[in-house]
Amino acid sequence: MAQKPSIPKGTRDFSPIEVAKRNYIFSTIKSNFEKFGFQPIETPSFENSETLMGKYGEEGDRLIFKILNSGDYLAKTNESYLTNKDSLKLTAQISEKALRYDLTVPFARYVVQHQNEIEFPFKRYQIQPVWRADRPQKGRFREFYQCDADVVGSNSLWQEVELVQLYDSVFSELGLKGVTIKINNRKILSGIAEVIGASDKLIDFTVALDKLDKIGEDGVKKEMLEKGISEEAIAKVQPLFNFTGTISEKIEKLATLLSASQEGMKGVEELQFICDNVMEIGLQTANLDLDVTLARGLNYYTGAIFEVAAPAGVAMGSIGGGGRYDDLTGIFGLKNMSGVGISFGLDRIALVIEELKLFPETVTATSKAMFLNFGNEEAKYAMKAISKLRQHGVKVEMYPDAAKIGKQFQHADKRGIPFAILVGEEEMKNHEFAIKNLATGNQEKVSLDVLLEQLK
């Protein structure tokens, strides 16, 4: 009869300590979002299918989880789809809703739907789970949280400046010193392609260039050649294969390289504004770097592109990313709404903090003290004290049964509860409480007021 319990692949249960650690990261991100003036919104877990489908490319459509219509969902379906077992065509007839794939498209939908209630520019943050029917692998899940902050309705480059500071502020507060915030600009990439006369091959070019770290200069050049980019064109961008120096030096090189491209020079100008101001205002612990191979989100970003790398020495992909997209809401009919935003990769950040042992000791899901249970009379006395302690905010509990004392101590120990409180006949008579430090074994008798002071 009994089922062996399990959960779907790619999903996770989180134990109390795991929840506590994740909440520590969430609340750090959240408090920084709010310090920077972002306001929270939440959208439904599932959207109408037409809101999501077609927004993430063919591959994305495939990875969206679809929800089966309720009731007799086959009643009005096309017979030929059924007899031909045409899964793809049937889907639209038996499924009207789909689980959120990211937070950006629901945000765009939200902005358009509520445009008359929103005061623009609108700085919103959103921390909610998303779902993808991806093949699960290490660090990649089918359910995971996204933490996004976006501004919509202003072209000001001060947003980009602030978003870099926001990254710095969050990672500094998490104790994750030395992350590198990489910045690039879509217009730089377009400019490069334009200069080399391969505008139509921009995606091929940037995808190849993005692999510089992985397959090296020769590998990238080989791939570019295979994709039909000429040797001559590649020669023109030779400086990009050894693109070092300070940000100012790099920007200078780009200004030379792209002098013939109007769009490229616009990108240079934007980068310069952002980088100059970031450097002048100063960062707490993060490094800023201009990375011309950075080409993430190429299909939708139109200006700045961001990506954050974990501190040197930690083998981990990017722990955050973002950029500017000039037409965030056009797909839902609202034109000329520029957006810019960043995202934090919670799961990877948690892994990095764990690896570097940066979780504070105060991150725990455990009570401060446990009262032992010596029977109903003692328990009643204890409960009155517990009630008062809790009203003062102390996390405290009582062992529910009058079990053997050894078993009760063991419970407190296994739970990582630091103090045990003992109340027997004598303590009740003297209005006292014996508090035992379970780490040191020290025990003393104190009044309720002193107990409260010690546990607060």
What one-letter code names the amino acid at 159? Q
**Contact between 327 and its own copies per CB under 8 A:** no
Number of residues located near its own copies, criterion CB under 8 A: 116
**Contact between 384 and its own copies per CB under 8 A:** yes
What one-letter code names the amino acid at 57? G
Measured from the CB atom, the residue of 137 and 242 that comes closer to its own copies is 137
Residue 255 CB, shortest distance to its own copies, in Å, is 20
Member of 58, 218, 315, 333 binding its own copies (CB under 8 A) = 333
Residues 6+ apart with CB under 8 A from 30: 40, 125, 127
Helix/strand/coil for 74:
coil
Residue 140 is given by DSSP the state: B
Residue 205 CB, shortest distance to its own copies, in Å, is 29
Residue 424 CB, shortest distance to its own copies, in Å, is 17
Q: CB under 8 A: which stretch of 126-134, 198-206, 226-234, 438-446 binds its own copies?
A: 126-134
Measured from the CB atom, the residue of 34 and 226 that comes closer to its own copies is 34
Member of 58, 59, 116, 117 binding its own copies (CB under 8 A) = 117
Contact call for residues 24 and 173 (beta carbons, < 8 A): no
What span, in angstroms and rounded, lies between the C-alpha atoms of 219 and 263?
Answer: 28
What span, in angstroms and rounded, lies between the C-alpha atoms of 307 and 291?
Answer: 9
Report the site for its own copies in 166-205 (rule: CB under 8 A): 169
Q: CB under 8 A: which stretch of 190-198, 259-267, 411-419, 430-438 binds its own copies?
A: 411-419
Residue 26 CB, shortest distance to its own copies, in Å, is 11
334-337 contacts, C-beta under 8 A, 24 or more apart: 334/111, 334/112, 334/115, 337/111, 337/152, 337/153
Contact letters (x/-) for its own copies, 270-299, by CB under 8 A? -------x--xxx-x---------------
Report the site for its own copies in 48-67 (rule: CB under 8 A): 48, 50-51, 62-63, 65-67
Measured from the CB atom, the residue of 140 and 380 that comes closer to its own copies is 380
Contact call for residues 80 and 90 (beta carbons, < 8 A): no
Give the position of tokens 């302690």: 389
Measured from the CB atom, the residue of 6 and 244 that comes closer to its own copies is 6
**Contact between 4 and its own copies per CB under 8 A:** yes
**Contact between 404 and its own copies per CB under 8 A:** no
Residue 392 CB, shortest distance to its own copies, in Å, is 9
The CA-atom distances, in angstroms, between 97 and each of 9, 23, 86 are 22, 29, 19
Member of 37, 219, 228, 317 binding its own copies (CB under 8 A) = 37
Measured from the CB atom, the residue of 92 and 316 that comes closer to its own copies is 92
Residue 395 CB, shortest distance to its own copies, in Å, is 5
**Contact between 407 and its own copies per CB under 8 A:** no
**Contact between 390 and its own copies per CB under 8 A:** yes
Contact call for residues 283 and 194 (beta carbons, < 8 A): no
To 10 degrees, the CA torsion angle through 29, 34, 36, 41?
Answer: 90
Member of 230, 318, 366, 454 binding its own copies (CB under 8 A) = 366
Q: Which residues of 204-214 are buried (b: 16+ CB within 10 A; e: fewer)?
A: bbbbbbbebee
**Contact between 47 and its own copies per CB under 8 A:** yes
Member of 26, 60, 91, 266 binding its own copies (CB under 8 A) = 91
**Contact between 82 and its own copies per CB under 8 A:** yes
What span, in angstroms and rounded, lies between the C-alpha atoms of 171 and 348?
Answer: 13
Contact letters (x/-) for its own copies, 218-247, by CB under 8 A? ------------------------------
Cα 216 → chain centroid: 30
Tokens of 352: 């990095």
**Contact between 401 and its own copies per CB under 8 A:** yes
Helix orientation angle between 262-281 and 158-173, rounded to the nearest 10 degrees: 40
Measured from the CB atom, the residue of 57 and 239 that comes closer to its own copies is 57
Member of 24, 28, 104, 109 binding its own copies (CB under 8 A) = 109
**Spatial CA neighbour of 102 closest among 131, 137, 135:** 131
**Contact between 453 and its own copies per CB under 8 A:** no
Measured from the CB atom, the residue of 119 and 213 that comes closer to its own copies is 119
Residues 6+ apart with CB under 8 A from 204: 224, 227, 228, 229
Report the site for its own copies in 146-165 (rule: CB under 8 A): 151, 154-156, 158-159, 161-162, 165
The CA-atom distances, in angstroms, between 396 and each of 215, 403, 451 are 56, 18, 12
